Structure 1
Amino acid sequence: MGATSSRLEKALAEYPESERYFGLENFGNTCYANSVLQSLYFCQPFRRAVLEYAQNSMSKSADENMLTCLADLFVQIHSQKKRTGVIAPKRFVQRLKKDNELFRSYMHQDAHEFLNYLLNECSELLEKEAKARKAAESPPAAENNADSASQAELQQQRQQETNNSAESNGGVVAVAPKQAPPPTWIHDLFQGTLVSETRCLACNTVTTREEAFYDLSLDIEQNCSLTACLQNFSATEALDGDDKFFCDACKGLQDAQKRMKIKALPHVLCLHLKRFKYIEQQDRMRKLNYRVVFPFELKLRNTSDDCKGADDFYDLFAVVVHVGQGPNHGHYVSFIKSSEHWLLLDDELVDVVNESHVQQAFGTTQEYNSTAEHGYILLYERR
């Protein structure tokens, strides 16, 4: 620990004076939360948004929830006088266990499930707050009802125009996504849009559907690359046999081809490598100890033709790593990039590492290696 501390103190001379590097205490298998929280803290736009939220909500007597506890933790780290040390995220962990029974036990939990829950919970809380503010600022009921009626009429008219257009647009049917509430800063940072294109092989009609995502879950193979995983994600899939597609133009089930592409790029790209797979014959989950090479600079190739900024690059700034052989035991740590330097954050431990250490998280070609580090969640920021 002494050597590690000395290494970090020497390295701090090259780091911004305002930056803080604090380990997080483990409260009994809470490494899954610590690794994700560290990755999000070093996501600079996310941290700025959380700290701004904390500042704006300080004067309000808001009820405690996951977002207020997250903001409290970020403020606690950011406002430390010392540059390094250890902080106990006790309030946050207590709130997490209170709000979600999945995380109440002391068993090994999944970092990806935690990340999904945290982002969705925070966005829902922000939506509720925005709705409450809008209700408080809304005009008298009579005016409101008149506006609502005119809006509904306009929406119905637009829907009819869309339907008429779909019938005469040369065999392309666009299925509009459901109307969503106004976006929050969680959406602004993490949300992207996928578009699935399904081509009927009988009449050649293409049906498109859009869906939002906070992260992409990618299938992996032994000794592959992240680029190959993304290509496979958008590979053409045959819909035939029992999986035939119901074509609205043909009014029946038909053979079809389907593919998924990215239509709108998120500012922060979260990629989840599907390392845990259910083996039916063994009736259990097992970990895929595959070597997956991920780049430190990424350009997405599986974008749609109308995707804005398709040539933009992403830079890797955090890797959540699973250490161990199985899904029900093991350990999570994170590598984060700060001011062009890489750090290892392992619960209370904060250590300086070089890029080659991060590359060890690619994994190994050996089928069994209980101590191997495997990249599990990759976080990239768009330039």
Structure 2
Amino acid sequence: IFFRPDVMTSLATTIPGLLDSIQEETGIHIDAQPLQNQVRSLDSLLQSSPKDLYMQLDMMGIPTKHTHCIIKAVGNRKQYLQTGVVQSSSPPMPCVPEPPPKMYCGIVNQGNTCYLNSLLQMYFHLNAFRQAVYQMVTDGKEFAQCLPLSLQKLFYDLSHHSGPTTTPDITASLGFSSTQISAQQDIAEINDSVCQALEPLEEGAPPSPHKVSTLFLGQYRDSIRCAELQYSVTKEVDFRSVPLEIRHCQGVEGSLDAFVKEQTVEDVQIEHQGTTAKRDAVKTTTFTALPPVLLLHLKRFVYNTESKELEKVMDDYRFPLELDMGPYVSLNPDQTGQAPGPTYGSSAGAAPDPNPNPGA
């Protein structure tokens, strides 16, 4: 098996043994050293099951658009390199022209699942999430019965299909009823459900720095203080998304300012000297640990106490290209002197990826 010389540069990592011969016969020099970390056996790739190919074709850097470059060597390789024709008992194999560049494709609404589609697109554009899902064991299960397998298929479709894909296997593996498919769901709750369903499956996966269980998981500290009774209580709260008010906040920084702002809480029941007393107290919130991917859940819908209905907040809202979380973070005592790690933020289900190439 060998490759057409005009595409050898982009695919050379899969067959390091051909590098010298390609340079000798065509004059093309390929520096293999920067690519050694990606080298894999092409034989094992071609013998893989279609399910395994979802991972290997996507993550190895050999997308479907390059499969036309693979030629089975049944004739003289040197002659092919010079003429583009394979001499054998079979008809010559023509050189297939390079297909047009792959464009992004969408996901068809299954019912009222636009919220789910936006979440799935966010997952797809997070390389760490996609790699974590590809590492999960899915042997002997059908797509509709296995969430990671249905996600693997969806990610492959989004990488390689020219048209939109669908989500029946996703909703079936999540246990959605027809009623749930037809109704809007809370996107933060669905994200929690997906993560909770995937996290136990990571236990059987190979060791990897990419874990769904830690990708979105952060922590903030709620503190309530009453100076009059010298009372204080602190609670650490884990989160996968941060709910932000947007009314009168103008932008993300304003919403975060409101999230951590001191609030007066009236009539807090406080145990004091063997009795229970009601006093006003001050509540503060500060982040103590930020996740690799910070999800910001904008509260666009609020309850109108007069109409007794939910209404959508249509205020203008600004999103910075870079978000400094330093003013909102207070390190735990055991983290003193350590700077928070890099955090890649997301809002409304669209998260910038530190490595945005979908095929990486």
**Structure 2 length as normaliser, TM-score?**
0.59
State how far apart, in whole Å, the 2-side matches of 1:66 and 1:294 are: 32
CA gap 1:71/1:248 in 2 versus in 1, 3 angstroms? farther
| 2:348 equivalent to 1:320 | yes
C-alpha change, 1:319 and 1:239, in structure 2 (3 Å) is closer
Cα deviation for residue 266 of structure 1 reads 0.9
Q: What residue identity is the alignment partner of 1:217?
A: P
Task: Encode CA deviations 1:30-64: one digit per residue, 9 max, x unaligned.
Answer: 222111100111011111101111xxx14455892
> 2-side partners of 1:248 and 1:60: how far apart?
60
Q: Name structure 1 gaps, 5 residues minimum.
A: 1-15, 134-183, 322-333, 344-383
Q: Please give the per-residue CA displacement for 1:332-359, whole angstroms capped at 9, x wherever unaligned.
A: xx68668679x9xxxxxxxxxxxxxxxx
Among 299, 304, 309, the residue aligned to 1:284: 309
Work out whether residues 41 and 74 of structure 1, in 8 Å CA contact, stay in contact via their aligned partners in 2: yes
Q: Does 1:92 align with 2:170?
A: yes
Q: Is the 8 A contact 2:119 2:187 kept in 1?
A: yes
C-alpha distance after superposition, 1:261-293 (max 9, x if no partner): 111111110011111011122121110011121
How is 1:326-345 mapped onto 2 (pairs within 5 angstroms)? Answer: none
> What is the match of residue 213 of structure 1?
239
Alignment of 1:219-230 (within 5 A): 219-222=245-248, 224-230=250-256
Matched, 1:244 2:268: yes
Would you say 1:35 and 2:118 are equivalent positions?
yes
Residue 275 (structure 1) aligned with residue 300 (structure 2) = yes
Provide the residue aligned with 2:85 in structure 1: none
1:118 aligns with 2:202: no
Q: Distance in 1 between matches of 2:197 and 2:139?
A: 22
Deviation of 1:26 (Å): 2.1
CA contact (8 A) 1:197 1:260 kept: yes
Q: For residues 257 and 337 of structure 1, what CA distance do their matches in structure 2 show?
A: 38
Structure 1 residues 33 and 288, CA gap change in structure 2 (3 angstroms): same
Q: How far off its partner does 1:100 sit?
A: 3.7
Kindly report which structure 2 residues correspond to 1:62-73, keeping only aligned pairs within 5 A, or say none: 64-73=145-154
Cα distance in 1, alignment partners of residues 282 and 139 from structure 2: 55
TM-score, normalised to structure 1's length?
0.56
Rounded to whole Å, the distance in 1 between the matches of 2:131 and 2:146 is 19
Residues 250 and 208 of structure 1: CA distance in aligned 2, closer, same or farther (over 3 Å): farther
Picking from 49, 53, 57, the partner of 2:132 is: 49
Structure 2 counterpart of 1:106:
182
3-state SS of the aligned residue for 2:320? coil
Q: Could you tell which deviates more after superposition, 57-66 or 34-43?
A: 57-66
Counterpart Cα distance in 2 of 1:20 and 1:338: 20
The answer on whether the counterparts of 1:279 and 1:285 sit within 8 Å (CA) in structure 2 is yes
Separation in 2 of the partners of 1:103 and 1:122?
Answer: 24
Change (3 A) 1:105 1:186: closer
Aligned-pair CA distance for 1:252 = 2.8
Question: Structure 1's 198 and 43: CA in aligned 2 closer, same or farther, altered over 3 A?
Answer: same
Write the distance in 1 (CA, Å) between the matches of 2:164 and 2:351: 17
Alignment root-mean-square deviation, CA = 3.4
Larger-gyration structure (1/2): 2
Q: Which of residues 69, 86, 106 in structure 2 aligns to 1:23?
A: 106
In structure 1, C-alpha distance between the alignment counterparts of 2:177 and 2:273, rounded to whole Å: 46
Matched residues, number: 249
Q: In the alignment, which residue of structure 2 is the partner of 1:260?
A: 285
Q: Which has the higher strand share?
A: 1
Asked if the contact 1:192–1:265 (Cα under 8 Å) also holds between the matched residues in 2, the reply is yes
Q: Contact (CA 8 Å) 1:299, 1:312: kept in 2 or not?
A: no
Match of 1:358 in 2: none
Percent identity (aligned): 24
Mark the CA change 1:338 to 1:22 in structure 2 (over 3 Å): closer, same or farther. farther
Q: Report the Cα distance in structure 2 between the residues aligned to 1:198 and 1:287, rounded to whole angstroms.
A: 31
Contact preservation (8 Å) 2:344, 2:351: no
What is the CA–CA distance in structure 1 between the aligned matches of 2:332 and 2:178, rounded to whole Å? Answer: 40
AA of the residue aligned to 2:276: G
Superposed CA deviations along residues 291-337 of structure 1, whole A, max 9, x for unmatched, are 12121211112112438555555444x5437xxxxxxxxxxxx6866
